[in-house]
Chain A
Amino acid sequence: MRWVLGVVGLAVLGYGALLAIDTKPVLETGFWFVGGTILHDVVLAPAVGVVGWLVVRVVPAVWRAPVAVGAAITGVLALLTLPELVRRYPAPVNPGLHERNYLLALGISVAVVWVLVVAVGVVRTARARVPAE
């Protein structure tokens, strides 16, 4: 089973490499290929680590989970919005596509998320105060 998976995987991988071999420009495409994982390992993941470390040290115990989830949602929504916010070339003029203030949309979404974080935190705090029966 493992060997079959491995051999099939190698064949699929090889086919992909064959398809990709003529991609131009070579160097820039290579940067794009390794860029994401390097940015993740060197910038994004350490940032997540620092935020987690701060949450543990700064935020009271009952608030930690909602704050961490709120931070994660904020980060992911920001990443999803980034292609609409930062453009190397202007977007093609297509009526009905990308015609929105995405910074405002992101801001409102994040605000809603943090209102919910506060609500959950308040409920958890109240529950923690009630002595268990």
Chain B
Amino acid sequence: MKVKVPAEEDFKSAAHDERVTARLGLWLGICFGLCFVTGLLSHAIQHPPTWFYWPSRPVNLYRVTQGTHVISGVAAIPLLLAKLWSVYPKLFARPLAKSLVNLVERGSILLLSAAAFFELITGILNVAQNYAFPFFFPPVHYAVAWIAVGSILIHVAVKLPIVRRALKASTKGDERPGVLSRRGFLRSTGVVTGVAVVATAGATVPFLRRVSPLSWRTADLPVNRSALAAGMTRLDPGWRLKVITPGGTRQFSLDELNKLPQTTAELPIACVEGWSASATWTGVSIPDLLHAVGAAPGAEVRVESMERNSIYRVSVLPSPHTSDAKTLLALRLNGEVLNADHGYPCRIIAPSRPGVLQTKWVGTLEVLS
């Protein structure tokens, strides 16, 4: 049997109709838009510019924005595949370029497609903690997001007349042959996208916890860095929490921390890698602790872990969080003393923050301003 490269005209099914393409493009654009905005937020929370403000309430805010980031990313996978199937015949258009403008346009689509696949592939690998790529994920995923969104904007600018025409055109009649009708293809894409979301979203959406078969979270409250990995399985019996203030340094034994007023709060851990889980945490609220050392709530607090070999061993609690009574130096989890994996002897747990900033095995707190 001879296999020949198909020509653009060989693709006859209704999926390749521009009315299908425009609608899929719109849905995909919404998903990428959500991904981009929530991604920028997550980036800004972790690397805050001076003008940036992120509130500590509602406590689930970051959980929702980052959950949206990952869910819209998962939804974009079937949508991107459907969109590219819709325009796949154009890949075989000959000549390769009718004009310089046409060449630039085709090049920009290659760039768009490359950036889109790169974001979705690295993203889905990262939530699986499958670090197969040869680079450090966050800065590269962040940079290529700008490339993807820039080329989407250029693509929309180029195609706007066709998009307008396609969205306004009558959706009745002139059906083409094929497995699915135009509407059928769109509906089916919707179904596939819905299944992809339901199959994974249980990692962060509570009522889907027992539903999603492919969820990367497989317990009620996962641990993202174990005590073993961090080298924090044993605590020096003479351990003291050091609290550095502009006025001097105070030390607290675990016993003394337990004797300070205790606050209990229901707070989520919301990981940048797309899972989240709520639990009941008890400990000294940061405003109470600041009062105890003669500092004012609302001052920024630098949190330093006792673990040595992690780029995430230090975090800074911003002003809205250090004045929030639900920001805890937690000593207990669901009523029991923290275990080593959850950060014994004490950890930070603050509302509406990425999990990577909920520093465990805290050794030093430093009041900054």
Contact = CB atoms under 8 A, between A and B. Distances in A.
A24 B135 contact: yes
Contact of B188 (A68, A87, A100): A68
B331 to A, nearest CB: 20
Interface of A: 1-3, 5-6, 8-17, 19-20, 23-25, 28-29, 32-37, 40-41, 44-45, 48-49, 52, 55-56, 64-65, 68-69, 72-73, 76-77, 79-81, 83-84, 86-89, 91-100, 102, 105-106, 108-109, 113
B264 interface: no
A113 B108 CA distance: 37
A90 B137 CA distance: 17
Contact of A19 (B142, B155, B196): B142
A2 B158 CA distance: 7
Contacts of A102: 214
Contact of A77 (B88, B142, B191, B199): B199
Contacts of B150: 9-16
B222 A13 contact: no
A35 B119 CA distance: 12
B143 A80 contact: no
A109 B192 contact: no
B192 A94 contact: no
B260 to A, nearest CB: 30
B179 A40 contact: no
Contacts of A24: 135
B368 interface: no
Interface size class of chain B, counting residues whose CB lies under 8 Å from the partner chain: 35 or more
Interface stretch (B123-131, B234-242, B287-295): B123-131
Q: Determine chain A's interface SS by DSSP, over half rule.
A: helix
Contacts of A73: 191-192, 195
B245 interface: no
Given A36-B121, A68-B179, A9 B218 contact: no
B118 A84 contact: no
B139 interface: yes
Contacts of B146: 12-13, 15-16, 19
B128 A23 contact: no
B134 A94 contact: no
Contacts of B128: 83-84, 91, 98
20 contacts: A1-B160, A5-B157, A6-B157, A12-B153, A16-B143, A24-B135, A32-B118, A33-B115, A36-B114, A37-B110, A37-B113, A49-B88, A52-B179, A68-B180, A73-B192, A76-B196, A84-B128, A84-B214, A96-B217, A109-B199
Contact of A9 (B117, B142, B153): B153
Interface in B343-358: none
B114 A97 contact: no
Interface in B215-230: 215-226, 228-229
B322 interface: no
Contact of A80 (B116, B130, B199): B199
B171 to A, nearest CB: 18
Given A16-B147, A87-B132, A80 B77 contact: yes
Given A12-B146, A94-B222, 4 more contacts: A6-B154, A29-B134, A44-B81, A76-B78
A74 to B, nearest CB: 10
A31 to B, nearest CB: 9
A12 B156 CA distance: 14
A91 B134 contact: no
A55 B220 CA distance: 42
Given A45-B84, A80-B74, A28 B124 contact: no
B207 interface: no
A84 B216 contact: yes
A29 B13 CA distance: 36
B129 A97 contact: yes
B204 to A, nearest CB: 13
A64 B133 CA distance: 39
In this complex, the member of A3, A17, A72, A109 whose beta carbon has the largest number of chain B beta carbons within 10 angstroms is A72
Contacts of B115: 16, 33
Contacts of A87: 130, 132
B184 interface: yes
B151 A13 contact: yes
Contacts of A109: 199, 213-214
Contact of B130 (A28, A52, A88): A88
